[in-house]
Structure 1
Amino acid sequence: MPAIVLIGAQWGDEGKGKATDLLGPRVDYVVKFNGGNNAGHTVVVGDEKYALHLLPSGILAPNVIPVISNGVVVDIEVLFDELDALIERGVDVSRLIVSANAHVITQYHRTLDRVTERFLGKRQIGTTGRGIGPAYADKINRVGIRIQDLFDENILRQKVEGALHQKNHMLVKVYNRRAILVDEIVDDLLSYSERLKPMVADTALVLSQALDAGKTVLFEGGQATMLDVDHGTYPFVTSSNATSGGAATGSGVAPNRIDRVIAVVKAYTTRVGAGPFPTELFDASGDFLRDNGFEFGTTTGRPRRCGWYDAPIARYTARINGVTDFVLTKLDVLTGLETIPVCVAYDVDGERHDEVPVSQSDFHHAIPIFEEFPGWDEDITGVREFDDLPKNARDYVLAVEAMSGSRISAIGVGADREAIVVRHDLLD
């Protein structure tokens, strides 16, 4: 049975729940392998809608074991708040496993995130202010706090003292903020340890043993390819590896155990926060996509920037991740448009680029080269077979598939969980 990586193909918010729903009955473990509570996703079960930020979507499936693995940074207060909210709604959360090696987001990470972003002024990155970046920075600087540290007070205190020695100088002398007390942090973190301890495990071992036993493991990436810290639109990115390679390092499962990489891509493009976005629309077409697609962030509530489908980005995603299948979502949002432009290349200072430019400056100044396709007016939300889609809708899907570097195996045609057209089995 396979290990499957599910990632976003653009700048996030692609609707990965569609793919998760298709795979759900055949999945035994769902693993969050990167990011923190900055990546929200909405899961619909029956008439119930759940907005999750830190927890993997598998928490809602009664036969699935949800895992927060070592590549995640965990705000424990948020973790318990989400768990308590689900418990109140009758969801069994007892199966959750958390990696002993996952890093912890503390109060000083959240404080530094907010004051640093304000300090940047016009050069702001557009972070959510939840402490994710500073927590990852501490991880790389080897002054981070890990989940396992909460169960040894002496080690925890030493690590907090070491981290705050530098940070308090910065908070007081640079940002004119009060110093944070070591006891304040230690006492806060220790208050979670008793409840947290039964959830903690060597998740890399658990997952390896699950694969050995023939279980199906789904690695669910937070954020998306173009927000990956190495391969995204740096510096306007997240602080972790949201690409398929991050599933291996972020979980401790070897890369040669991964069988399939499924990338979720919208039938148009959106982005939240600052950074380059070649196909972005500032006119009525952008408003049409935002309103029809309900493009507002699950975590932040911010209106998303909207633009047309970008085929070079899809090809880039296919290459970087080794995509075996695309899931194209929100095709129904395009219903009613007379023509639908697709970006097929970029013009940079008069030179055509068929692929994403490696230079940040070039990508920032890239002007999209569009090819236009005829639209359709028919309601497609009830369609379940590809051949039953309007001809123009089929032609649009086939055209973007040919440009995108891998097959489109499923198509989202509406907001309902069942509103999906399957062309190829995602595990075949």
Structure 2
Amino acid sequence: MRPSGPTASLALWLHLRRAAALAGGPVGPVAAPPGDGPLILLHLSERGEEPPQAGALVTALVARRPGLRFAFLGAAPPPDALPAGLRAVSLALPGDPAGTRSLIRALGPRAALILGDQLPAALITEMAEQRLPVILAEARLAGHNRRASWRGAVDRGLMDKITRILAPDPAAAATARRLGAAPQRIELTGPITETRPPLAANEAERRALAQILAGRHIWLAACPTLPEARAALAAHQAALHHNHRALLILAGLPDQAVPEIRAGLEALGLAAVLRSDDEDPSPDDHVLIAEDTHEMGLWYRLAPVCFLGGTLLPGPGLAPRHPFEPAALGSAIIHGPATQVHGAEWGQLDGASAARLVMDAAELSSAVADLSAPDQAAALAGVAWSVSTGGAAVLARIAEIVVAALEEAP
């Protein structure tokens, strides 16, 4: 650990003096949201393409301490992500100490929660001057790992003023220690990830299909592009050499792709059944084509293995599905490298080795063959389930720490 010392304190002091010199004038009148519940200043990072997810955390905080009020600073949270009836205001954060001091006096906060990688120096310093808790969460701090720079010295000066650092991953915790944060102030909570209720399914239909398909290895290609659907058919044809009773479910296909897929099936000598024809797969059928997406929860429940389309081969297709959908329903996940959509969730799954990454159609075939072994599919699915449901525990822990801090504040 590199402790904060005179150089860091001087750097922070000079940084704030410069901010004061560049200040644009006094802050206008500020009105706190109505109510008499404790107020939290919630600063959202303005870095990155999207602000950190705040809606689920705000919901967890209000559930733990009803009546909380919020003043959002930095990036504005999406209004539809916030709980209905929330008492909150969105305000511009002054960058200078005097303006920030005026803002704090007008609002009377009990705590500040900083979400993301930005470290607003004036806000952190002025809250610490008032002996009010400052909690940093969901900060990976990658852009602050500059120990030899002047900005690094400013960051080290701020570390002593942050009450708790709730690190999303070990790398963030290590960076906080290198910047001089005391180890007892750092807690590895894990990241804030979106928690999603499992997709619904008709239980009677699930039981009936499970009985019809008993003993067959089932795998799912969810919303594949047309080239991915072709790759899935080739992978399935290879799988049939080892397990002649295997069944592939192609679900979520654009209407215009179905005729070409059926032609490809015929060329490969594979028998298929259309879900829209209201027919159940027979023992001789190799592929079930479920064009619509409204039964995706049913297919996730029936298929121990799922390839999520839109991640491997570009082409016409429906929007990629959220990876936590199959994870929450016990399906082992295969995906390609194109994970920009739902990137944070893919990062969590891959970081925990909770999904199988494939780079081309040949690797897709290998992954399907490997995961036809029930023990391998179950192990991968179990880790994915833990990742997809762990976000609720992270939210609960962060809310617990924040509410405890504001209750102890003077």
- TM-score normalised by the chain length of structure 2: 0.28
Name the larger-Rg structure: 2
Structure number with higher relative contact order (C-alpha < 8 Å, ≥ 6 residues apart): 1
